[in-house]
Amino acid sequence: MIKIVIIGSGNVAHHMFEAFRNSPIVEVIQVLARNKKLKNSDFFEDKMIFNFSDLAEADLYLIAVSDNAISNIASQLPFENRLVVHTSGAADLAILNSKNRKGVFYPLQTFSKNRKIDYDQIPICLEYEQENDFVLLTKVAHSISNQVFKINYEQRKKLHLSAVFVNNFTNHLYQIGEEICLENNIPFEILNALILETAKKAVRLSPKAAQTGPAVRNDTQTIEAHLSILNNENQKSIYQSITQSIQNNVKKL
Amino acid sequence: MIKIVIIGSGNVAHHMFEAFRNSPIVEVIQVLARNKKLKNSDFFEDKMIFNFSDLAEADLYLIAVSDNAISNIASQLPFENRLVVHTSGAADLAILNSKNRKGVFYPLQTFSKNRKIDYDQIPICLEYEQENDFVLLTKVAHSISNQVFKINYEQRKKLHLSAVFVNNFTNHLYQIGEEICLENNIPFEILNALILETAKKAVRLSPKAAQTGPAVRNDTQTIEAHLSILNNENQKSIYQSITQSIQNNVKKL
């Protein structure tokens, strides 16, 4: 078995632990947490430790903490020349401490503690310094996911930015939809089928081919009508910037 | 059987025809098209007609054409005091001609000709003038959908605006995600799982609860980094307006 230590106890750590539970070749031997309150949590079973000095020898140390804590944690590791990776979409591999072999193991998904996920559908993006480490990282990634990609730092930064658009920003548009519904005594559930179909359509067709609505057909009358009933300035500004962008795209065709 | 005539031969007409095919109580007896080129299309089987003078007597006439053509078509109908509805999310019921009984039968979904859809998941929004017509419209709607709503014009306008945010605008964000990927030699498919999970999460949790990302946690360093690598002015403007809106929402909490 490939032995892994997870460092961190948040959403990503939680889901990685869960994913590796089903891996036939990986065993998570320890989970290092800063928060001793978690001691009573039984999620990580008997794997939890709370001190760097208790870290056991492993084939891979997976740092799953917030971006600004990675560097500090990497420098506190009390060993050298082992394989240490972080799980961030935005952080450089270089922020890991050079006393160990560095890599990135970035699972591209939105994680919430209370939602079950099909781990084999989550893309894992790998970066590494040494060819030997690539072999191990690829094995580990393929043991939980069908989609494993070699992505360098420049690409990963751009991918993370794309993810902000399709996940964070899309979710905010859903929230605006919800707000407009609730203000008008319309149940938000009425939009459920549309939200799901919009997502399914984009992944099966291309989003460009799937684009519909007043902006793409330059229906200025409807656009004006919408702007006139939007009384929230933030919503209006989003309406205008996206409409402008859709229309500029049409011109480019 | 309740007899329906569909007026129009575009995406909505196409999908309504398909939906009613499975209705145990509705029979589509005619489809009136303007475009004679469709004569060779066998989709509408032997139901197609091309002249207003050929319209048969029916319980319900469903006008499924673009918003700006509804009024003209309604005034050309060669009969009086029958039930005539349009299928638009944005048009007033009042644009239908007063010589007939008016109503709205608005299926809230994004329709493409070549995508199969679970019709029973599509919300149908009804508006009507007479209580008798409501009974018939409700029967027809329930025979194809599990979700039937009585929605007045003010609500329908707002609902249509919400739909623009969660469908048209969301799709444009997917397109931006695709563009950023392709510019950086990253396959767009890498975002599929994230796009689908984001949509599923929003309909199961609330979008407000599901919000994550640099904007909501006020991670100014990541926001600055993203803005510095965005070289498309439209994308930058969308990034800024949505980030601003997310942050203002946080302040409101």
pLDDT value of residue A35: 77
pLDDT value of residue B133: 95
Q: What would the mean pLDDT of B71-84 be, rounded to a whole number?
A: 97
Query: By CA distance, what is A169's nearest residue in B?
Result: B242
Task: Give B238→chain A minimum CA distance, Å.
Answer: 5
The amino acid present at B94, given as its one-letter code, is A
Residue A152 φ/ψ, nearest 5 degrees? -80, 175
Query: Which positions in chain B touch A177 (Cβ < 8 Å)?
Result: 162-163, 165-166, 207
Q: What value does the mean pLDDT of chain A take?
A: 93
pLDDT value of residue B41: 65
CA dist., res. B253 & res. B237, Å (int): 25
Task: Give A113→chain B minimum CA distance, Å.
Answer: 11
User: Does the beta-carbon distance from B193 to A158 stay under 8 Å?
Assistant: no
Would you call B250 an interface residue with chain A, using a CB distance cutoff of 8 Å? no
Q: What would the mean pLDDT of B233-239 be, rounded to a whole number?
A: 96
CA dist., res. B112 & res. B15, Å (int): 9
Give me the sign of the Cα torsion angle B153, B157, B160, B162: negative
For A108, A246, B163, B170, B189, the CA distances from A207, given in Å and listed in that order, are 20, 12, 16, 10, 12
Asked if A82 and A64 count as a contact pair (C-beta separation under 8 A), the reply is no
Residue B37 structure tokens = 């080129």
CA nearest A151: which of A138, A140, A164, A139? Answer: A138
| B19 pLDDT above the threshold of 80 | yes
User: Does the beta-carbon distance from A178 to B208 stay under 8 Å?
Assistant: yes
Q: Computed over its alpha carbons, how large is the radius of gyration of chain B?
A: 22
Residue B68 structure tokens = 């700006």
Instruction: Return the residue in B117, B173, B223 with the most chain A beta carbons within 10 A, the one to mutate for interface testing.
Output: B173
Q: What value does the mean pLDDT of chain B take?
A: 93
pLDDT value of residue A27: 96
pLDDT value of residue B5: 98
pLDDT tens-digit series, residues B202-229:
999 889 988 989 999 888 989 999 999 9
Query: By CA distance, what is B114's nearest residue in A?
Result: A205
Q: Which residues, listed in sequence order, are joined to residue B115 by a DSSP beta bridge? A: none
Three-state SS annotation for B67-88: HHHHHHHHHHCCCCCCEEEECC
Highest-scoring range by mean pLDDT, A179-193, A238-252, B112-126: A179-193
CA dist., res. B176 & res. B48, Å (int): 41
pLDDT tens-digit series, residues B138-148:
999 999 999 99
Quickly state the pLDDT bin for B39 (edges 50, 70, 90).
low
CA dist., res. A107 & res. A122, Å (int): 6
The DSSP element (H or E) to which A174 belongs, if any, is helix A170-183
DSSP string, B80-148: SSSEEEE--SSS-GGGS-TTSEEEEEEE-S---TT----GGGS-EEEEESSHHHHHHHHHHHHTT-S-E
CA nearest B6: which of B54, B43, B70, B60? Answer: B60
Q: What would the mean pLDDT of A134-143 be, rounded to a whole number?
A: 96
pLDDT value of residue A22: 87
CA nearest A177: which of B210, B213, B252, B82? Answer: B210
Would you call A75 an interface residue with chain B, using a CB distance cutoff of 8 Å? no
CA nearest B88: which of B121, B66, B120? Answer: B66
User: Does the beta-carbon distance from B190 to A147 stay under 8 Å?
Assistant: yes
CA dist., res. A128 & res. A84, Å (int): 10
User: Greater confidence, B40 or B36?
Assistant: B36
| Three-class secondary structure of residue A164 per DSSP | helix
pLDDT tens-digit series, residues A44-84:
888 999 999 999 999 999 999 999 899 999 999 999 999 99
pLDDT value of residue A253: 56
Would you call A220 an interface residue with chain B, using a CB distance cutoff of 8 Å? no
pLDDT tens-digit series, residues A164-217:
999 999 999 999 999 999 999 999 999 999 999 999 999 998 899 889 899 998
Residue B97 structure tokens = 């001609």
Give A 143-172 residues with CB within 8 A of chain B. Answer: 147, 149, 151, 154-155, 157-159, 161-172
Q: Which residues, listed in sequence order, are joined to residue B124 by a DSSP beta bridge? A: B107, B148
Residue B123 structure tokens = 């919300």
Residue A107 structure tokens = 């699972």
Q: Which residues, listed in sequence order, are joined to residue B103 by a DSSP beta bridge? A: B85, B128
Asked if A168 and B211 count as a contact pair (C-beta separation under 8 A), the reply is yes
| Three-class secondary structure of residue A91 per DSSP | coil
Give B 110-149 residues with CB within 8 A of chain A. Answer: 110, 112, 115, 117-118, 121-123, 125, 147, 149
Is the complex ipTM more than 0.95? no
Residue A22 structure tokens = 């089903």
Q: Residues near A64 by Cβ (< 8 Å), separated by ≥ 6?
A: A6, A7, A8, A10, A12, A13, A16, A86, A87
Percent above pLDDT 70 for chain A: 98
| B40 pLDDT above the threshold of 60 | no
Specify the pTM: 0.91
